[in-house]
């Protein structure tokens, strides 16, 4: 049994051989005892009632089409046809495999019965060649051929038989020859019939019939590129390829792949690049639509083409710049084509659509090309709209009539699309777009667009800022704080007043995100710079919450400083105590009297002799100065005084020793202590 239900539309064929929808529901399969077999059941989606019940007979011919259709007929005369149109190919594939399992057929085929085999009434069934007779392929029979294709469109069996005849008689090649004849004779009516015939052949969905030859296709592309081809002819050729691409969406994956690979090998991309530069709106639009099909099929193919262009020295003329130029220069007031081109660019710039090779990263190479050769073209309208002198009061250039003004409706729509793409780049291109924004001061220019009278553009600016802040990147945060870029956002918010609208909510969302995520640099910047403007706002608690976050962080930092000061003071005190202890032990071990400088009345009588010899003993006396007068004594005296040392250290002779010093670490003190114990201090040569 099929494992689950799938959503389908149910169609029936009436006596006039026309298909009619009878309902939408869920298809399932179940063994029905009274029918002695497995049945397909469809229950209505609205009320659950049974709208279709069909037993899977062993000899019924089921056919799968386009990956989402299953058709069959429960009558021998090919009437009473039924069809299930599935919402998704996976559901169609599951039911198809189950039908083939019941009939014992190969599910890889798209028809469960060989139409050339005989059935239970084989004596009455004519051969396919006698059932359908194709007229001779000539100019005067084109209308008759077209009518024949129309007559078999409602019968899967007749379509299958017609496909076999077309393949066996090489009919398609003859039709292509007629195409050249009609072109040469400018037979418009014949070309019209051929168009409908070829389209009907494509809808037979047979891969062996889709091989339309390479020489023919090559000639068509040559005409597209030829400068002498008139615009009407070129547009017809483009519309032909557009229909082929649109039809490819109904093909099986292998057929679709073969079709697009053929187009790519025939250099359709370079042909499209040429025609997109032609000054004809319809030609440009059609070429862009064809390119969109190619991007959807294989974005990496277009990216590879761009990289080849850059390697050949055409960096500024890559096809992406052609697309951007067309988007910027679109004259449609609603910019319908621009939306399609923006989506096309987004597909090309999506990292998920970029392939990497073992030797190099194609995504990196492609993005480098884009930011070097294309980004400046993309943001050109933005820079023009925010150039010097824009936005000033009573500026005549800021009127709505000025096409470069953000107050102009069409310009505002274009800038909205550009900002949408830039926001996408911020999310997916990390350092590429970050380097560009910081080096070009781009965020400041974007924020200038908030002066526009069009809310849709202002909201796009807010979304762009929100995406940047959402990254929580330190460089972005520093840039915003240093350049005071929040000022524009705050002013726009205040000008909006208390109106509860989309703009109000979007701006509050920025501040709420900063509060919830506690982005400390931005919290401090907002509170210190703008809190007075927000203080009276009561209808949301966002701004008061920012102040609370700011105060909590400030108190936390104060406690950290206090604890750090306490730790440092305690450490200094302990070091001083250790030093005092060491010096005290040194003093007790030595002759403290000799360590003390003599009083004035105790100087010896031969002081004059000492003074005379002072010059010759200067260096020696300097070397023999005892440690009690060295830098260590300065440290000791300072600490001793701080701790309330003896009065002897407070004498006038010691008053000049109060200096701030950098105390050694504990390890250094222990080494000094060991050295002091090993060798007693030298005595001063005061009596010599």
- Sign of the Cα pseudo-torsion (93, 97, 103, 105, in order): positive
CB-count exposure of residue 447 (10 Å: 0-12, 13-18, 19+): buried
Would you state the pLDDT for residue 462?
97
Give whole-number Cα distances, 442 to 232, 371, 383, in Å.
43, 14, 9
* Residue 522 to residue 449: CA distance in whole angstroms: 22
Name the pLDDT band for 3 (thresholds 50, 70, 90): low
Report angle CA 114, 119, 121 to the nearest 5 degrees. Answer: 150
Highest mean pLDDT among 233-247, 354-368, 572-586: 233-247
Is the CB of residue 79 less than 8 Å from the CB of residue 73? yes
* Residue 475 to residue 465: CA distance in whole angstroms: 14
Which residues pair with residue 21 across a beta bridge?
A: 11
Q: Give 308-318 pLDDT, tens digit per residue.
A: 999 888 778 89
Percent over 90 (pLDDT), the chain = 29
Compute the radius of gyration of the chain from its Cα atoms.
Answer: 45
* Residue 89 to residue 87: CA distance in whole angstroms: 7
In this prediction the pTM is 0.61
Which residues pair with residue 29 across a beta bridge?
A: 40
Query: CA nearest 251: which of 324, 202, 198?
Result: 202
251, pLDDT greater than 50: yes
DSSP codes, 174-221: HHHHHHHHHHHHT-HHHHHHHHHHHHHHHTT--GGG----HHHHHHHH
Which residues pair with residue 54 across a beta bridge?
A: 40
| E strand intervals along 228-289 | none
Q: Give 103-143 pLDDT, tens digit per residue.
A: 888 888 888 875 434 333 333 333 333 346 778 888 888 88
Highest mean pLDDT among 186-200, 358-372, 555-569, 667-681: 186-200
* Residue 557 to residue 565: CA distance in whole angstroms: 12
Average pLDDT over residues 262-274: 89
Query: CA nearest 240: which of 306, 155, 308, 183?
Result: 183
Is the CB of residue 64 less than 8 Å from the CB of residue 107? no
Is the CB of residue 549 less than 8 Å from the CB of residue 612? no
**φ and ψ at residue 71, rounded to 5 degrees:** -125, 150
Query: CA nearest 280: which of 224, 217, 344, 346?
Result: 224
Query: CA nearest 521: which of 546, 544, 543?
Result: 546
Q: Give 173-214 pLDDT, tens digit per residue.
A: 888 888 888 888 888 888 888 888 887 777 776 666 656 656
Report angle CA 496, 497, 501 to the nearest 5 degrees. Answer: 60
In this structure, the dihedral spanned by the alpha carbons of residues 625, 631, 636 and 637, taken in order and rounded to 10 degrees, is 80
CB-count exposure of residue 419 (10 Å: 0-12, 13-18, 19+): buried
Higher pLDDT, 58 or 412: 412
Write the CB contacts of 514 (distance below 8 Å, at least 6 apart in sequence).
469, 522, 523, 526, 546
Would you state the pLDDT for residue 76?
56
Would you state the pLDDT for residue 229?
87
CB-count exposure of residue 456 (10 Å: 0-12, 13-18, 19+): middle
Which residues pair with residue 23 across a beta bridge?
A: 10
Number of Cβ within 10 Å of residue 385's Cβ equals 27
DSSP codes, 84-114: EEESSHHHHHHHHHHHHHHHT--TTSSBSS-
Instruction: For 386-415, give one letter per residue: b (16+ CB within 10 A) or e.
Output: beeebbeeeeeebeeebeebbbbeebbbbb
* Residue 414 to residue 330: CA distance in whole angstroms: 9
Average pLDDT, the chain: 77
């Amino acid at each position: 049994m099929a494992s689950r239900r799938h959503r389908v539309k149910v169609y029936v064929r009436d006596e006039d051989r026309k298909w009619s929808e009878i309902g939408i529901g869920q298809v399932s399969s179940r063994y029905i005892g009274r029918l002695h077999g497995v049945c397909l059941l469809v229950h209505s989606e609205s009320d659950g009632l049974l709208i279709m019940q069909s037993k899977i007979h062993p000899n019924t011919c089921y056919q799968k089409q386009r990956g989402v259709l299953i058709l069959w007929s429960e009558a021998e005369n090919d009437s009473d046809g039924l069809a299930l149109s599935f919402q998704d190919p996976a559901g169609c594939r599951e039911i198809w495999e189950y039908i083939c399992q019941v009939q014992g057929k190969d599910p890889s085929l798209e028809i469960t019965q060989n139409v050339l085999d005989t059935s239970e009434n084989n004596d009455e069934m004519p051969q396919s060649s006698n059932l359908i007779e194709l007229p001779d392929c000539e100019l005067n029979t084109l209308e008759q051929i077209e009518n024949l294709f129309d007559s078999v469109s409602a019968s899967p069996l007749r379509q299958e038989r017609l496909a076999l005849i077309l393949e066996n008689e090489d009919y398609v090649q003859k039709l292509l020859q007629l195409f050249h004849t009609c072109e040469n004779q400018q037979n418009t009516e014949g070309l019209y019939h051929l168009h409908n015939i070829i389209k009907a052949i494509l809808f037979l969905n047979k891969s062996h019939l889709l091989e339309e030859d390479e020489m023919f296709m090559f000639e068509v592309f040559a005409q597209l590129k030829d400068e002498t081809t008139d615009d009407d002819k070129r547009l017809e050729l483009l519309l032909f390829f557009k229909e082929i691409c649109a039809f490819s969406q109904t093909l099986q994956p292998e057929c679709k792949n073969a079709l697009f690979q053929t187009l790519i090998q025939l250099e359709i991309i370079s042909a499209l690049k040429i025609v997109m530069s032609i000054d004809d709106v319809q030609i440009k639009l059609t070429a862009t639509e064809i390119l969109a099909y190619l991007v959807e099929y294989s974005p990496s193919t277009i990216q590879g083409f761009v990289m080849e262009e850059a390697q050949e020295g055409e960096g500024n003329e890559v096809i992406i710049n052609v697309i951007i130029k067309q988007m910027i220069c679109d004259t449609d007031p609603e910019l319908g084509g621009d939306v399609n081109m923006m989506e096309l660019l987004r597909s090309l710039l999506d990292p998920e659509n970029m392939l990497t090779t073992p030797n190099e990263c194609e995504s990196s190479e492609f993005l480098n090309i884009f930011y070097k050769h294309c980004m400046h073209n993309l943001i050109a309208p933005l820079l023009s709209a925010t150039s010097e002198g824009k936005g000033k009061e009573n500026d005549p250039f800021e009127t709505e009539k000025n096409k470069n003004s953000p107050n102009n409706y069409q310009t505002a729509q274009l800038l909205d699309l550009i900002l949408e793409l830039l926001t996408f780049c911020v999310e997916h291109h990390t350092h590429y777009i970050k380097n560009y924004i910081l080096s070009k001061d781009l965020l400041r220019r974007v924020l200038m667009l908030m002066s526009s009278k069009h809310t849709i553009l202002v909201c796009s600016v807010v979304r762009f800022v929100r995406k940047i802040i959402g990254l929580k990147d330190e460089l972005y945060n520093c840039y915003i704080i240093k350049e005071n870029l929040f000022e524009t956002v705050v002013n726009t918010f205040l000008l909006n007043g208390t109106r509860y609208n989309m703009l109000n909510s979007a701006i509050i969302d920025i501040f709420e995100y900063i509060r919830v995520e506690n982005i400390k640099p931005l919290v401090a910047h907002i509170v210190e710079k703008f809190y007075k403007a927000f203080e009276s706002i009561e209808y949301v608690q966002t701004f008061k919450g920012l102040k609370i976050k700011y105060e909590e962080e400030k108190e936390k930092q104060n406690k950290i400083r206090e604890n750090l000061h306490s730790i440092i003071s305690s450490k200094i005190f302990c070091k001083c105590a250790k030093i005092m202890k060491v010096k005290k032990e040194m003093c007790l071990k030595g002759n403290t009297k000799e360590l003390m400088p003599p009083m004035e009345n105790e100087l010896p009588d031969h002081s004059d002799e000492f003074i005379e010899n002072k010059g010759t003993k200067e260096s020696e006396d300097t070397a023999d100065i005892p440690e009690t007068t060295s830098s260590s004594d300065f440290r000791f005296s300072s600490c001793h005084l701080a701790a309330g040392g003896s009065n002897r250290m407070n004498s006038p002779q010691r008053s000049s020793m109060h200096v701030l010093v950098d105390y050694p670490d504990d390890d250094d003190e222990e080494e000094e202590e060991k050295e002091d114990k090993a060798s007693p201090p030298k005595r001063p040569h005061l009596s010599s």
